[in-house]
C-alpha cells in the first residue's frame, strides 16, 4: 500500500493581535485566553499597539485581530481609526472592549463590522465560535 | 395682595458700571438703561429713554433712535419668552462700541409686561462634552454610511439588463421599509447595496452589522443587546439588522434572529445577505439534500420573510458591457488623490478588465481599481498599473479547457483508490484491509457500500 499523502499541518498558523489600550488589562487577557480560543495557532504575536502602529499595519495581509479598548474619551479617535482600518482591510477581525460605553455609543459602533463587544476579560471565552468561523473563512 | 421688597438694593446692583442691562416696556419704548449700558453705547441713558426699540419698524436718522433700535429684541420674543442675540450698536461720536452677546427675557403678560435685555458672556450655548462626542460620532457614522452607500450606487451603474433589473429592485426596496433578502455570488457587493438601501429608506434609524457565520445564539444576543434595549425602551424606535452570510449561519442562530424579529414586528428590519441561489442550485444537483442541509440553508421562517423582496446580484463577468462604466465610477472615487480622471483607463487596461473572469466579483474589481489608483503615476491607468493577477490573465482556449473537479469529488476518488488498494493487498479480507487502513471494520464496510461498482462489477474486493 502506498504511503498516504501528508495532511497539511495546521500547527504552523500564526496570528497577530493588535491590542489598543491604555494599560495592559486586555493584553494580559489575550495572553491568558489565547490558547483556549485558538489551540491551532502556535505563533501568536500579541502587541500592545498605539494608534500609530495600527495605522502602519493597515494593509497587513496577515490574519489579524484588532482589540480596541474604547471609552468615552477616546471614542471619537478610535472610531476614526476603526473606520480607516476597516476601509483598508475588511478581512481583519475587530473586537471592542467597552469601558463604560452607553447603549447609544455601542449602537453607533455596531454599524462598523465588529465581531464582538467585550465588557470584562472573562467575556473572551465567548469568542471561541467567532475565531473558529474566522479561520474557517480565511482558510 | 402682597407687595414687593424695596427696589433700592437691586437699583444699587444695576448702577454698577459692569452691569449692562436695559428694559423695554410693552409699548416697545426704552424705560431703563443701566450705567454700564450707557457706557457701552457711548450715549447718556437719559437721551435714550422713551425712544422706540422694536425690530422691523422705521427708524429716523437720529443717532439716538438708531442706538435705541439696535437694542430691540428679535421678533417672536412674545411667543418664545426668551431669545439670544449678538448686538453691534451703531457708531456714536466716531466710536464703534464692541459687539455683545445679549439675552432677552420677556417678563409678565404681553399687554402689560416688559422685556429685559442683559448683555454679557454666557456659557449656556456650550455643548456638553458628551453631546459633543455624540455629534462627532454621528458625523463619522454619516461619512462611513455615505462612503459605503456611494460604493453601493456604483453597482447600479450600467446599461445591461442585469443593471436595469438591479436598479428597479433597489428602487422598490428603498421606497419601502421592509425585510430584504440579497443573493449574491462571492464578493457581489450586496453589503454595499444593503447600506445604500438603508440610507435611502431609513437613514435616521440605527443598524447593526452581524457577521452570521461567526455568531451563535448567545453571541447574537450580546451583539444586538444595545439595539434591543432601545427598542424595548421606546415603542417608536426602529432598527435594522444587516446579517451577512445568513445561509452560512447556524440554524439555532437563525431561529433566534427570527424570534427577535417577531418580538418587534414592523420595527426591527432584517437585510440579509445570502449566497447566490444559482450557486445553491448547482450544489443541490451535485450533492444529496442532507449534505446541503449541513452546508448552506436559511431556515424556513426567515426564508418566508425574506421572500418579500429579493435582490440578486449577478456575477460581474456577466455584466461585461457595464464594466467600463463601473470601473470609471470607482476610479472617480479613488482617483481623486491622484491626477487620474474617471475617463482615463487605457484601452489595454480596459481589455484586461474585460477578459478577466472576476471570480470575486465587485470586491475584486474595487480592489483592482484601488490598487491601480495607488500605483498609477500619470494621468491614465495603464495595463501595468493593474494587479498582476489581472494583467497576466489569459483566457483559456476552449479546446484545452479542462474542467476541474470539485475538491469533494477528488477526495472521494482518492479515498476510493486507497480502499481498493487496501482490499487488493488484503486479498479481499475486509477485516485485514480495515486494520491496514487503521479504521474499524464497520466503517470500512460503510465506505465500501457507498462506493460505486467498478468496471469489473465489484467494489474493490479484489
* B145, closest residue in chain A (CA to CA): A111
Q: Which of chain A's residues have a Cβ under 8 Å away from the Cβ of B216?
A: 129
Q: How far apart are CA A8 and CA B391, in angstroms?
A: 31
Q: Tell me, what's the ipTM?
A: 0.77
In this predicted model, what pLDDT tens digit does every residue of B46-86 receive, in sequence order? Answer: 899 999 998 888 888 888 999 999 999 998 888 888 998 89
Of A1, A114, A129, the CB nearest to B425: A1
Kind of pairing between the strands at B82-87 and B100-107: antiparallel
pLDDT for res B393: 87
Partner A contacted by B130 (CB < 8 A): yes
B337 has a pLDDT exceeding 80? no
Residue B414 pLDDT exceeds 80: yes
Residue B145, SS3 per DSSP = helix
The pLDDT of residue B95 is: 84
**Which of B187, B214, B215, B256 is best to mutate for the A interface (most A CBs within 10 A)?**
B214
A25 vs chain B: nearest CA distance in angstroms? 21
- Please state the separation of Cα B461 from the chain's center in Å: 61
Task: Tell me the pLDDT of chain A averaged across its residues.
Answer: 82
Q: Give the three cell numbers for residue B391.
A: 494583467
Q: Residue B459 — very low, low, confident or very high, per pLDDT cuts 50/70/90?
A: low
Question: Between A75, A83, A117, which is nearest B144 by CB?
Answer: A83
pLDDT (tens digit per residue) in A108-124:
999 888 989 999 888 88
B462: confidence class by pLDDT, cuts 50, 70, 90:
very low
Q: Give Rg (Cα) of chain B.
A: 38
CA dihedral in degrees (B118, B121, B125, B127; nearest 10)?
-160
User: Is B140–A115 a contact, with Cβ atoms under 8 angstroms apart?
Assistant: no
Q: Is the pLDDT of residue B284 over 80?
A: no
Mean pLDDT of B296-309: 86
Please provide the distance, in angstroms rounded to a whole number, between the alpha carbons at the two ends of chain B: 120
pLDDT band at A2 (very low <50, low <70, confident <90, very high): very low
The pLDDT value recorded for residue A137 is 77
Nearest-by-CA chain A residue for B411: A5
CB proximity list for A9: less than 8 A, separation 6 or greater: none
pLDDT (0 to 100) of residue B346 = 87
Q: Which residues of chain A have a CB within 8 Å of the CB of B230?
A: 103-104, 107
Tell whether B131 lies on the interface with A, counting CB pairs under 8 A.
no
Q: How large is the average pLDDT for residues A81-90? A: 85
Closest CA to B34 of B121, B123, B116, B122: B116
Among B127, B139, B140, B375, the strongest candidate for a mutation testing the A interface, having the largest count of A CBs within 10 A, is: B140
Residue B311 has pLDDT above 70, yes or no: yes
Cβ-nearest to A129 among B133, B219, B226: B219
Least CB-CB distance to A107: which of B140, B214, B226? B226
Residues of chain A contacting B418 with CB distance shorter than 8 Å = 1-2, 4
Q: Dihedral of CA B37/B41/B45/B51: which sign?
A: negative
Query: Do residue A113 and residue B209 have CB atoms under 8 angstroms apart?
Result: yes
Contact B421/A at CB under 8 A:
yes
Instruction: Inspect the interface and report whether the beta carbons of B140 and A83 lie closer than 8 Å.
Output: yes
Residue A6 pLDDT: 47
Assess B425–A contact: CB distance below 8 Å, yes or no: yes
* Interface test with chain A among B127, B137, B363, B407, by most A beta carbons within 10 Å: B137
Residues 42-61 (A) with a CB less than 8 A from some CB of B:
none
Minimum distance, in Å, between the CA of residue A3 and any CA atom of chain B: 10
d(Cα B384, Cα B95) in Å, to the nearest integer? 69
pLDDT mean over B386-407: 75
Angle, in degrees to the nearest 10, between helices A103-110 and A75-88:
10
If you count residue pairs, one on A and one on B, with CB atoms under 8 Å apart, how many are there?
A: 86
pLDDT of B415 > 80? The answer is: yes
**Which chain B residue has its CA at the smallest distance from A106's CA?**
B226
pLDDT band for position A88 (cuts 50, 70, 90)? confident
Q: Crossing angle of helices B217-233/B251-263, nearest 10°?
A: 10
What is the model's pTM?
0.66
The three grid cell numbers given for residue B231, joined into one nine-digit string: 427598542
Give Cβ neighbours of residue B73 (< 8 Å, ≥ 6 apart): B24, B55, B83, B85, B104, B115, B117
| Mean of all residue pLDDT scores within chain B | 85
Residue B1 confidence (pLDDT) = 60
Q: Does A129 touch chain B (CB under 8 A)?
A: yes
Among the partner-chain residues A83, A87, A117, the one whose CB lies closest to the CB of B223 is A117
Q: Give the gap in angstroms from C-alpha B351 to the nearest C-alpha of chain A.
A: 27
On the question of pLDDT at B180 being above 70, the answer is: yes
Q: How many residues would you count in chain B?
A: 462
User: Which of B235-249, B258-272, B294-308 is least confident?
Assistant: B294-308
Which pLDDT value is given to residue B292?
47
Collapsing DSSP to helix, strand or coil, B282 comes out as: helix
Q: Does the CB of A4 have a partner CB in chain B at under 8 Å?
A: yes
* Residues B145-173, mean pLDDT to the nearest whole number: 90
φ/ψ of residue A11, rounded to 5? -80, -10
Instruction: Give tens-digit pLDDT for B185-194.
Output: 988 999 999 9
Nearest CA in chain B to A110: B208
Amino acid at each position: 500500500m502506498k504511503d498516504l499523502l501528508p495532511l497539511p499541518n495546521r500547527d504552523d498558523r500564526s496570528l497577530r493581535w493588535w491590542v489598543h489600550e491604555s494599560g495592559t488589562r486586555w493584553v494580559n487577557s489575550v495572553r491568558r485566553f489565547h490558547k483556549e480560543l485558538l489551540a491551532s495557532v502556535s505563533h501568536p504575536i500579541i502587541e500592545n499597539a498605539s494608534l500609530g502602529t495600527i495605522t502602519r499595519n493597515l494593509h497587513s495581509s496577515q490574519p489579524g485581530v484588532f482589540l480596541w479598548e474604547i471609552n468615552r474619551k477616546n471614542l471619537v479617535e478610535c472610531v476614526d481609526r476603526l473606520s480607516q482600518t476597516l476601509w483598508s482591510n475588511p478581512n481583519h477581525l475587530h473586537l471592542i472592549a467597552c469601558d463604560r460605553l452607553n447603549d447609544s455609543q455601542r449602537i453607533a459602533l455596531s454599524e462598523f463590522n465588529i465581531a464582538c463587544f467585550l465588557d470584562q476579560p472573562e467575556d473572551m471565552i465567548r469568542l471561541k465560535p467567532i475565531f473558529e468561523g474566522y479561520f474557517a473563512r480565511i482558510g | 395682595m402682597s407687595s414687593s421688597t424695596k427696589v433700592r438694593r437691586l437699583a444699587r446692583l444695576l448702577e454698577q458700571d459692569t452691569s449692562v442691562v436695559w428694559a423695554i416696556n410693552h409699548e416697545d419704548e426704552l424705560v431703563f438703561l443701566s450705567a454700564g449700558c450707557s457706557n457701552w453705547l457711548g450715549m447718556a441713558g437719559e437721551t435714550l429713554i422713551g425712544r422706540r426699540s422694536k425690530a422691523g419698524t422705521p427708524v429716523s436718522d437720529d443717532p439716538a433712535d438708531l442706538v435705541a433700535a439696535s437694542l430691540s429684541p428679535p421678533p417672536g420674543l412674545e411667543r418664545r419668552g426668551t431669545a439670544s442675540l449678538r448686538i453691534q450698536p451703531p457708531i456714536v461720536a466716531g466710536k464703534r462700541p464692541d459687539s455683545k452677546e445679549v439675552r432677552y427675557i420677556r417678563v409678565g403678560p404681553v399687554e402689560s409686561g416688559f422685556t429685559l435685555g442683559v448683555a454679557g458672556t454666557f456659557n449656556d450655548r456650550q455643548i456638553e462634552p458628551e453631546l459633543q462626542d455624540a455629534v462627532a460620532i454621528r458625523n463619522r457614522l454619516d461619512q462611513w454610511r455615505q462612503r459605503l452607500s456611494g460604493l453601493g450606487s456604483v453597482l447600479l451603474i450600467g446599461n445591461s439588463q442585469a443593471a436595469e433589473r438591479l436598479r428597479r429592485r433597489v428602487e422598490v426596496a428603498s421606497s419601502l421599509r421592509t425585510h430584504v433578502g440579497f443573493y449574491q455570488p462571492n464578493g457581489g457587493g450586496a453589503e454595499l447595496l444593503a447600506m445604500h438601501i438603508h440610507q435611502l429608506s431609513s437613514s435616521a434609524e440605527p443598524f447593526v452589522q452581524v457577521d452570521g457565520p461567526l455568531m451563535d445564539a448567545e453571541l447574537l444576543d450580546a451583539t444586538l443587546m444595545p439595539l434591543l434595549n432601545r427598542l424595548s425602551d421606546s415603542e417608536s424606535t426602529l432598527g435594522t439588522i444587516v446579517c451577512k452570510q445568513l445561509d452560512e449561519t447556524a440554524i439555532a442562530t437563525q431561529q433566534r434572529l427570527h424570534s427577535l424579529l417577531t418580538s418587534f414586528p414592523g420595527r426591527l428590519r432584517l437585510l440579509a445577505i445570502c449566497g447566490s441561489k444559482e450557486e445553491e442550485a448547482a450544489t443541490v444537483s451535485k450533492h444529496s439534500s442532507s449534505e446541503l442541509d449541513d452546508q448552506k440553508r436559511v431556515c424556513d421562517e426567515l426564508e418566508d420573510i425574506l421572500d418579500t423582496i429579493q435582490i440578486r446580484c449577478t456575477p460581474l463577468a456577466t455584466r461585461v458591457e457595464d464594466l467600463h462604466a463601473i470601473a470609471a465610477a470607482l476610479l472617480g472615487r479613488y482617483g481623486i488623490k491622484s491626477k487620474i480622471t474617471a475617463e482615463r483607463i487605457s484601452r489595454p487596461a480596459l481589455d484586461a478588465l474585460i477578459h478577466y473572469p472576476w471570480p470575486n466579483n465587485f470586491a475584486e474589481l474595487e480592489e483592482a481599481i484601488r490598487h491601480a489608483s495607488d500605483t498609477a503615476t500619470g494621468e491614465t491607468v495603464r495595463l501595468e498599473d493593474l494587479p498582476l493577477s489581472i494583467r497576466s490573465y489569459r483566457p483559456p482556449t476552449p479546446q484545452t479547457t479542462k474542467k476541474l473537479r470539485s475538491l469533494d469529488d477528488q477526495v472521494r476518488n482518492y479515498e476510493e483508490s486507497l480502499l481498493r488498494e487496501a482490499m487488493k493487498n488484503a486479498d479481499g479480507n475486509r477485516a485485514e484491509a480495515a486494520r491496514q487502513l487503521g479504521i474499524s471494520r464497520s466503517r470500512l464496510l460503510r465506505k465500501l457500500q457507498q462506493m460505486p461498482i467498478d468496471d469489473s462489477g465489484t467494489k474493490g474486493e479484489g
